[in-house]
Structure 1
Amino acid sequence: MAFSGKFEFESEKNYDEFMKGLGVSEDVTTKARNLKITTEIQQNGQDFTWIQSYSGTNIMTNKFTIGKESEIQTVGGKKFKIFTSGGVTYERISKRLA
């Protein structure tokens, strides 16, 4: 299945709890919540590049491979390897733009 394309943030679950578990400060969590998030995904077989633009000013790029543990960086600069922190799993839902 091809995931390449551009996506726009639609909704999320467990954001505050997840960010707290990562140790992200409350002020950074609040600022990040109010940003317009656009994501571009580039797929090359099992390898993905995930480029996120936050309100058109901050751009963050993460790479991962299906089936391999990867380090992901948050907008606040924190790094993690899985989407569960302190027993909380974060879920973000986006809609395809192109």
Structure 2
Amino acid sequence: MLVRVADVFHALDDETRRLVLDELVARDGQTLFELCSMLVTRHGLSSSRQAISQHLAVLEDAGLVVTERRGRSKFHYFDGRPLAVIAQRWPTTREETP
């Protein structure tokens, strides 16, 4: 998997996309309808399905979301590998002090 760090940072630069990722971490394998419902219920975010679909496309382009089609449904899954690539690029070299 080729990870473009700029794409990952761009994807994470939006609050709605971070909320989508939070929802997928909480329960992986959701459809667009399920994600929209959770965003409204848990976060009061009433974006259109089209807007959330566009956010999912950005996350998918960055490699943070992968999809699987089953019949007429498309399921979305979180993929943390691009974040691991970034963490490997800039590892923590000293102890964190509180």
Q: State whether TM-score is above 0.5.
A: no
State the TM-score, normalizing by the size of structure 2.
0.26
TM-score, scaled relative to structure 1: 0.26
Name the structure where strand makes up a greater proportion of residues: 1
Say which structure, 1 or 2, has more relative contact order (CA 8 Å, 6+ apart): 1
Larger radius of gyration: 2
User: Which of the two has greater helix per residue?
Assistant: 2
